Amino acid sequence: MAVLTFPILALVLALPFLIGQYRKYGSFLKWRAVVIYSFVFYLLAAYFLIILPLPSRESVAQLTTQRYNLIPFTALREFINTTVFSPLHPSTWLTAMKQPGFIQPVFNIVLTIPFGVYLRYYFKRPWWQAWLMSLGLSLFFELTQLSGLYGYYPRPYRLFDVDDLILNSTGGLIGALIAPVLMHAFPTREKMDQQSLQAGTRVSLMRRFVAFFLDNVVVVGIAAAVLGLISNLLGMQKLLPGVLLTWVLPVFFSHVLVPWVNHGATWGKQLVKIQVVDDNEHPAKFGTLLWRAVLLYGVALQSLRGFFLMFEEIFSKFHRTDLNFALLLLFGVLLAFIIVNFIWALFRKPIRFFYEVWSHTHQISTVKNVSK
């Protein structure tokens, strides 16, 4: 279930995770992503382990089993009473380790060992905090069971056991204690932070894409919704063209007006610490920002839209006029230039597309260089 659920959860967390990384470091470090996402997957797997399999509500309503155990070290007494273990007879030890009285407590310890390792390795928590947090995680698991999965079931379908709190917190403590040994095999948190901050002084393509997504999906979308609401309240929806309210004015607001008053940064770029500047490294001015937006949204994107529109007119609707063929050719040439320019720019450092070259602008990082 964790394997099936994790990709969906990863997609949901991807944008907040990237924004957080760019806000803090200005870059996206792959090893940090491996650590964070593996930690999320571990927590997801651990959670499913304590709630699955889910019985039917009817079968739970008929249960008469014990709801909770508040007597400490019951597991130890059950181990002594239910297994063949005898401290004076080593031949019984291996057999006892295969019996439920041993396996279940040990698995409760193993369950939280990774939690302690992550807390000590990446989150830099001392051993006593890792122990307390492991206790808190175990308490969350046990209360989930005691509440009948937050009230979904009429009563607990699994036992709330104080021994689980002891065993889980012990596992977290063990993980925190062995973490320093494992840390020698992986980059330290300090090393990751230093590499991230150094890389953050450069504006990567992924960083630009996150800002582009925020500006053109979130900001433009919200601006279009607000303008549409205002025009409806004022009764102006019939006087203003729909494309003006849903696209032109929102794009102008997001990519010209906001960066003009915000020192060259759109709200999306500000979140990931990017700034649009001119060739003199000064924040781009109003006219420069307007020309830049016209080239990108008025030429590049409209060429793409025009090409597919003419393609549809000619090959789907069979409106094969000379004008349509001429427009298809024109938009095709522009689109080919844009594609070639995009590919060419990807192999140049720094990445700079045609609309930036023609408007004499480029993007810089506002993260300060921390190299020593």
User: Tell me: the pLDDT tens digits for 136-183?
Assistant: 999 999 999 999 999 999 999 888 889 999 999 999 999 999 998 887
Peptide bond just before 53 cis, omega within 30 deg: yes
- Model pLDDT, residue 372: 42
Q: Provide the CB-side half-sphere exposure for 240 (13 A, CA).
A: 19
pLDDT at 340: 93
Q: What is the pLDDT of residue 369?
A: 60
Question: Which strand (E) or helix (H) includes residue 161?
Answer: strand 160-161
For residues 268 and 218, the answer to whether their CB atoms sit within 8 Å is: yes
pLDDT computed for residue 330 by the predictor:
92
Q: How far is CA 271 from CA 21, 206, 211, 228, 368, in A?
A: 10, 14, 7, 26, 15
Provide the residue count of the chain. Answer: 372
Q: Is 8 helix (H, G, I), strand (E, B) or coil?
A: helix
Cα–Cα distance between 295 and 276 in angstroms, integer?
A: 15
- Residues 254 and 258: their CA atoms lie apart, in Å, by 6
> What's the rounded Cα separation, in Å, for the pair 35 and 118?
8
The CA R_g of the chain, rounded to the nearest whole Å, is 30
Query: 160 — phi, psi (to 5°)?
Result: -80, 120
276 pairs with which residues across the strands?
Answer: 363
Amino acid at 116: G
Handedness of CA 327, 332, 338, 341 (dihedral sign): negative
- Those residues with Cβ within 8 angstroms of residue 363's Cβ, 6 or more apart along the chain or in another chain: 203, 208, 269, 274, 275, 276, 277, 356
Report the pLDDT value the prediction gives residue 322, as an integer from 0 to 100.
Answer: 87
Q: What angle do CA 204, 274, 268 make, to 5 degrees?
A: 100
Please give the Cα distance from 299 to 43 (Å, whole number): 48
Q: What are phi and psi of 278, to 5 degrees?
A: -90, -175
Query: In terms of Cα–Cα distance, which of 366, 371, 358, 372 is closest to 24?
Result: 366
Predicted pLDDT of residue 266? 95
> Which residues sit opposite 355 in a β-bridge?
none
The 10 Å Cβ neighbour count of residue 200 is 26
CB-based contact 268:209 (threshold 8 Å): no
SS3 of residue 160 by DSSP: strand
Question: pLDDT at position 77, please?
Answer: 83
* Cβ neighbours around 309 below 10 Å, total: 15
Q: Give residues with Cβ within 8 angstroms of 59, minimum separation 6.
A: none
Q: Residues in the chain with pLDDT < 70?
A: 237-240, 369-372
Running DSSP on this structure, what letter comes out for residue 278? E
d(CA 51, CA 100): 19
Q: What is the pTM of this model?
A: 0.77
In Å, what is the CA distance from 193 to each residue of 19, 25, 45, 206? 16, 7, 28, 18
